[in-house]
Amino acid sequence: MKKFPIILIIFLINLAFAEAYIPLNIDGKTVNIEGIKSADEGIFLFNKIMTDEDVEKLRDSAITFQSSDYDIEENVMMNIKVDLEKGYKSDIGYYFMFSEPIDATKATRSRPLEIRFLGKNLKILDADNDEITVYNTDYEDLFFNSGDRIEKDGKIIRLARVGSGGAIVVDVDGVTETIASGATETVNGIDIVNEETHYDSNNQAASAANLIISKDLFKTYKNGDEYPDNPQWKWDINNLNEKAPTIILDNELKGPYIGVKYDSSWEKLNEEACVNLPNNYLSICLSDLTDYFYEDESGCLAGIICCGNNICETGENKETCFGDCKVCMDEDRDGFKAGDCNEDCNDNDAKINPKFPEICDGLDNNCNGKIDEDLTRQCGESNIGACSFGTESCNEGIWDNCTAVFPVREICDNLDNNCNGLIDECCDGCLYNEKCLSKKERVNEGIYCNYDRDLELLKEINEECSFDYECLTYNCQNKICSEKTVVKTIVNWFVNLFG
C-alpha cells in the first residue's frame, strides 16, 4: 500500500533577516527551534513542526477502521513571536493526521472511528466536514463480571445479571434497568452502553459484560468549540468529508484532520512561560528564552547582578563582574538572590523563597530549614447526625491523621449513622426507591433483600440458594432453585397469608 508523504514544507528565508534559534523544554527534553530575527529591532520569529523524531510521545503508527488499516501521525505545529518589550506570543496546534485517504464520515455508533487523541481514547460515532460526535472524554469502557460494582459520580453501579439473549440488568443506586444488547439507557442519571456480553448458562457469576459508562455520554464538537475543561484550546476540525491524506504545505494543513489549537495573547517571559496541552499530554516551556534575549542595565544576562558601578565583561562572557564584587543570580525571578547573596534556598523555583507561604508539598517553601511545619486544615464530609468535621495535618507532603467522623451504614441505635438527617431509617433492611424492604421482602421487579442488606436479583432454576424467597419460583430445594410444585405453592400461600 502506497504511503502518502505527510509533511511537504517549503521554507524560504528572507535574506534581510538573520538566522537565530531558541531552546524549548518539551516534557523535560530540549528541542531547538530555528527561526529568524526580524529587521525590526527586538523582534524574533520562530516556527516548528514537531513529530515523533522530536518528541517520543507523538505517535507515528496505524489504526484500524472498519476492517482496514490506515497510517496516522501526531504533530505539534508552533509559531512563536518574541518581542523584547512585550514578551512572547505562541500559536500552538496539536493535530491527529491521516497519512492515507480515509472516509471519516462512515463512522457510526456500531462501527466507530477509534483514535488515541491527546493521550486519551476518542471514539468518533459520527463525522461531518467540520464536526464530530463522540463519547464524552470522561467515559469509561469497563469489563464487569456479573455482580461486580463500581462507583461513578457518587453512585454505585452494579451489573446485576447477564441474560442469554445479550440483555443485561443494571442497578444504579437502587434504580434497576434492563438494557438490550448494543443499546444505550440512562439509569438514574448515568448513561450506560451494553457494548458486549458473555453468558454462561451454567454459572451466572461467570457471565460478564463490557459496558461504556459516563454522565452525558454523547458530545458533538464543531470547529472552533472549546475543548473540554480547557477554554484556551479550541477544536480545529476540517475536511473530514474529503477522502484524502493529510499534508502540510507552506505551514498549512490540507486534507482531513482533527486537532486543537491555542492562540495566546502577549505574555511575559518568566519561570511560568509554559503552555500545557490538554490532558497534560505535553508541556512546552519557553522560560529559557530569558537567558537568550534579555540583559540587565549592567550588560549582564538577566539574573546576574553586580554591585556598585561594576559591570559585566563584554563579549561572550556575561556572567563575570569586574572588580571584587558579589555575583548574585536570581534565575527564578522571584526577587530573592542566590549565589554570593545567599537570599534564596532554591533559585530554580519561584515558589520557594523566604516570603513564600509554606504549603503541603514536602518542600521547604519559606526557606526556614523546616518542611511542611505547622500545617493543618479542616477535613471530613459532614457535620450532620453522628458525623463531625475534624482536622488533619501535613506529613511529608501528604494530608493525613484526619480526626473527622465519617458517614457509615445506618444501624438501629437511635443515631443518624449515615449522616443524611434521618435516624434509623431502614436500618434493618434494604432501601429501594425510597421504600424500606425487610430482609425477606420481594418487589415485582424481581429483587429481594438479602441478609447483608444488599438488593439481589431473584435467581433462576438450578442456581444455588438458601431460602425460597431468593428464587424466581419461590422454591429452594436442597440449596438449589427448583421448579414450582403444587404442594409448595399451597404451602407458600398459607405462609404468606398467616405469616
Among 33-37, 132-136, 373-377, the least confident range = 33-37
Contact 143, 162 (CB under 8 A): no
pLDDT at 294 over 90: no
- Cell numbers for 325: 564584587
Mean pLDDT computed over 476-498: 75
Mean pLDDT computed over 71-78: 94
CA 234 to CA 220: how far, in whole Å?
14
Mean pLDDT computed over 129-157: 88
What per-residue confidence (pLDDT) applies to 21? 54
Share of the chain above pLDDT 90, in %: 41
CB atoms within 10 A of CB 132: 23
What per-residue confidence (pLDDT) applies to 35? 63
3-state SS string over the chain? CCCCCCEECCCCCCCCCEEEEEEEEECCEEEEEEEEECCCCCEEEEEEEECCCCCCCCCEEEEEECCEEEEEEEEEEEEEEEECCCEEEEEEEEEEEECCCECHHHCCCCCCEEEEECCEEEEEEEEECCEEEEECCCCEEEEEECCCEEEECCEEEEEEEECCCCCEEEEECCEEEEECCCCEEEECCEEEEEEEEECCCCCHHHCEEEEEEECCCEEEEECCCEECCEEEEEEEEECCCCCECCEEECCEEECCEEEEEEECCCECCCCCCEEECHHHCCEEECHHHHHHHCECCCCCECCEEECCCCCECCCCCCCCECCCCCEEECCCCCCCCCHHHCCCCCCCCCCCCCCCCCCCCCCCCCCCCCCCCCCEEEECCCCCCCCECEEEEEECCEEECCCCECCCCCCCCCCCCCCCCCCCCCCCCEEECCEEECCCCEECCCEEECCCCCEEECECCCCECCCHHHECCCCEECCEECCCCHHHHHHHHHHHHHC
Contact 407, 416 (CB under 8 A): no
Kindly report, residue by residue over 390-443, the tens digit of the pLDDT: 999 999 899 999 999 999 888 889 999 989 888 988 888 888 887 888 888 888
Locus of grid cell 547573596: 341
pLDDT at 497 over 80: no
- Cell numbers for 155: 453512585
What per-residue confidence (pLDDT) applies to 322? 46
Return the amino acid letter for 27. D
Confidence label for 152 from pLDDT (cuts 50, 70 and 90):
confident
Return the amino acid letter for 14. N
As beta bridge partners, residue 64 has 69
Average pLDDT, the chain: 81
- Whose CA is closest to 57, among 279, 229, 258, 223? 279
What per-residue confidence (pLDDT) applies to 380? 93
Return the amino acid letter for 418. N
Contact 10, 249 (CB under 8 A): yes
What per-residue confidence (pLDDT) applies to 342? 78
Kindly report, residue by residue over 447-476, the tens digit of the pLDDT: 999 888 888 999 999 999 998 889 988 899
pLDDT at 2 over 80: no
Contact 212, 135 (CB under 8 A): yes
Its pTM stands at 0.51
As beta bridge partners, residue 468 has none
Pairing mode, if any, of strands 168-172 and 175-179?
Answer: antiparallel
Locus of grid cell 518542611: 371
- Cell numbers for 134: 463522540
- Whose CA is closest to 23, among 43, 48, 53? 48
Residue 14 makes CB contacts below 8 A (sequence gap 6+) with 36
Kindly report, residue by residue over 237-283, the tens digit of the pLDDT: 999 999 999 999 888 899 999 999 997 778 776 656 788 899 989 98
* Angle (CA) 57 58 59, round 5°: 110
**Torsion sign (Cα): 110, 111, 115, 116:** positive
CA 133 to CA 141: how far, in whole Å?
17
Return the amino acid letter for 136. N
What per-residue confidence (pLDDT) applies to 84? 60
